[in-house]
Amino acid sequence: MLGWALTFLIVALVAAALGFSGIAGAASSIAQILFVIFLVLFVVAMIARAVRGQPPM
């Protein structure tokens, strides 16, 4: 999921550099949403590991 967020970030940066503001804005929004989802899932996974008694990675 983090890979997808980085991919959309790169697409947004390239589109912004070329002047495609609509595509850049859409790709940037998608990248932000995917990054937030990744962070939430990461925190949930860390909490689940701690509850099960396993040490952090």
Task: Tell me the pLDDT tens digit for each residue of 15-24.
Answer: 888 888 788 8
Is 20 among the domain residues? yes
Q: State which residues form the domain around 25.
A: 2-51
Is 57 among the domain residues? no
Is 32 among the domain residues? yes
pLDDT score at 28: 83
Share of the chain above pLDDT 70, in %: 93
Q: Coil, strand or helix: which one is 53? A: coil
Is 8 among the domain residues? yes
Q: What are the C-alpha distances in Å from 20 to residues 3, 16, 33, 41, 50?
A: 23, 6, 20, 32, 45
pTM of the model: 0.68
**Count of domains observed in the chain:** 1
Is 15 among the domain residues? yes
